[in-house]
Structure 1
Amino acid sequence: MHVIIIEDEKPSARRLQRMLQKLDIEVSIMLHSVEESIVWFENNTHPDLIFLDIQLSDGLSFEIFESIDIKSAIIFTTAYDEYALKAFKLNSIDYLLKPIDDGDLAVAVKKYQERAPQKQAVTLDFNDIKKLLVNPIDRAYKKRFSVKIGQHLKLINIDDIECFYSENKGTYLYTGEGRNYLLDTTLELLENELEPQTFFRINRKFFVNINAIKDMVSYTNSRLQIKLKSYNEQDIIVARERVKDFKGWLE
């Protein structure tokens, strides 16, 4: 069986390779980006099975399939939430939610092996899945946050929030009124709760609201500095590896 892994996080790719070796499956090659994958598929025999991450270092893995006609079976390895995963389950062999569980991996491989002798084609409508990722149906994003002020609770509407940021192991929201409030959450949890067309995580410390951006300025090392309407407590810098995605998000 000819198997490859497409995963931008090399430690995750190596871990998956070791897990597959325990199932007596050898991985032919590990690819780490859209560009690298396209070049490889153009010059090599396509595999029987691909373990595919979605968010690669240079874009979504769907871009590979827009350039190359690939008929390989696919098992998704993804950190995306259940709303997107429902779509994958309809047409792909299976999906594995990170961190990948040994038992789930074994079940997914068995599904493939049971289908393989019948040469069943696995057809994926990548455009439909891609649209679902960008605009998930029936997705309930946070509309307001409750914050504690002394013995009282205050509700803050999402439209009034300029940014979320982490500082000294705490997570804060900052409003257009120039007030910040401590939240009982993390930026990682917020990633699945904020509407992605409105909020973007520009670096490890900040989510910004597109409607609060006042100006954008070129910064050192190919980065961008963001200026918000009210927030000015510290510099807000778009990480270099996020600049491309940030510009795409603005459009």
Structure 2
Amino acid sequence: MNVLIIEDEKPSARRLQRMLASIQVQAEVMLHSVEESITWFKNNEHPDLIFLDIQLSDGLSFEIFETIDIQSAVIFTTAYDEYALQAFKLNSIDYLLKPIDADELEKAVKKYQDRVPKQQAVTIDFNDIKKLLVNPIDREYKKRFSVKVGQHLKLINIEDIECFYSENKGTYVYTTEGRSYLLDTTLELLENELEPQTFFRINRKFFVNINAIKDMVSYTNSRLQIKLNSYNDDEVIVARERVKDFKAWLE
């Protein structure tokens, strides 16, 4: 299998390359911009499979496909929230949300490999995807959560939440009152339920509320440490591969 990675953050590209190598998939070529990718495709045989980041340093990666007629299969690697990825499903495109999970990566590769013998065509309508990313579908997000406290149910309004976090296989909500409550859900399900302008998943363990951020401090390995108004039970760190998208989200 001939595999290509297009990712503008070189550390993220190398990490994905290592993750692929661990499941015996070799990605020998890595490209980092729209311009570089267009030049490469004009002068090289197109790969079987492309791992494609949406937002590159010099524009959206869709611009590559507007210039070059590419028939390769595509697996998106993206930090876009799941609500904006419905068009990917409609076009039979696999996608991986950053930070990429090893198990999800392996499943996506297997999904591609299972399709190859059937010679299923890859149909990509990039115009539809671009429209959806710019003008996401209107939808209702969670306004409150119910939690069990002893024999009682307590309602927690979304504006009273500082963060969501996972711990010991449980998912918790932390409130402005300084209390944590166990939820009957997962962070993955919350991806689709939280208003993306208010909540951001900074790593595999935390969602933070933009209104609860008190301070942000540079941290080791090009990461950021977040200080929330009252939550201080654990270090709240923006994963290195999420820092760029986090900064864009803040603005």
Please indicate, yes or no, whether the TM-score normalized by the shorter chain is above 0.5: yes
How far the C-alpha of 1:129 sits from its partner, in A, is: 2.0
**CA spacing shift, 1:81–1:233, aligned 2, 3 Å:** closer
Q: Which residue of 2 aligns with 1:71?
A: 69
Residue of structure 2 aligned with 1:95, choices 93, 96, 99 = 93
Query: How much is the aligned-residue C-alpha RMSD, in angstroms?
Result: 3.9
Say yes or no: does 1:105 pair with 2:102.
Answer: no
Which structure has more RCO (C-alpha within 8 Å, separation ≥ 6)? 2
Say yes or no: does 1:42 pair with 2:44.
Answer: no
Q: Which has more radius of gyration?
A: 1
- What letter matches 2:87 in structure 1? K
How far the C-alpha of 1:223 sits from its partner, in A, is: 2.1
Q: Which residue of 2 aligns with 1:143?
A: 143
Deviates more, 1:148-157 or 1:4-13: 4-13
CA distance in 1, matches of 2:236, 2:154: 26
| Equivalences for residues 1-251 of structure 1 within 5 A | 4-6=3-5, 9-10=16-17, 13=20, 31-32=29-30, 34-35=32-33, 38-44=35-41, 45=43, 47=45, 51-55=49-53, 63-66=60-63, 69-73=67-71, 75-78=73-76, 81=82, 84-86=85-87, 89=90, 94-96=92-94, 99-100=107-108, 101=111, 105-106=115-116, 109-111=119-121, 124-125=126-127, 129-133=129-133, 136-251=136-251
| Superposed CA offset, 1:67-124 (max 9, x none) | 68222135443587576333664xx6x4246634368624883335xx9xxxxxx763
Deviates more, 1:212-221 or 1:128-137: 128-137
- What letter matches 1:216 in structure 2? M
Secondary structure of the residue aligned to 1:111 is coil
How far the C-alpha of 1:13 sits from its partner, in A, is: 5.0
Secondary structure of the residue aligned to 2:119 is helix
Gaps of 5+ in 2: 7-12, 96-103
How far the C-alpha of 1:10 sits from its partner, in A, is: 3.5
How far the C-alpha of 1:175 sits from its partner, in A, is: 0.9
- 8 Å CA contact 2:31, 2:37 repeated in 1: no
Gaps of 5+ in 1: 19-26, 116-121
Secondary structure of the residue aligned to 2:121 is helix
How far the C-alpha of 1:198 sits from its partner, in A, is: 1.3
How far the C-alpha of 1:38 sits from its partner, in A, is: 4.8
- What letter matches 1:177 in structure 2? E
CA distance in 1, matches of 2:83, 2:203: 24
How far the C-alpha of 1:207 sits from its partner, in A, is: 0.9
- What letter matches 2:69 in structure 1? K
User: Percent same amino acid at aligned positions?
Assistant: 52
- 8 Å CA contact 1:46, 1:70 repeated in 2: no
**CA spacing shift, 1:111–1:205, aligned 2, 3 Å:** closer
- What letter matches 2:165 in structure 1? Y
- Provide TM-score, normalisation by structure 1: 0.69
- 8 Å CA contact 1:217, 1:224 repeated in 2: yes
Count of aligned residue pairs for this structure pair: 226
| Superposed CA offset, 1:33-67 (max 9, x none) | 644x75354244365576444547x8599733446
Secondary structure of the residue aligned to 1:211 is helix
Secondary structure of the residue aligned to 2:120 is helix
How far the C-alpha of 1:179 sits from its partner, in A, is: 1.5
CA distance in 1, matches of 2:57, 2:74: 13
Q: Which residue of 2 aligns with 1:22?
A: none
- 8 Å CA contact 2:141, 2:194 repeated in 1: yes
How far the C-alpha of 1:239 sits from its partner, in A, is: 2.1
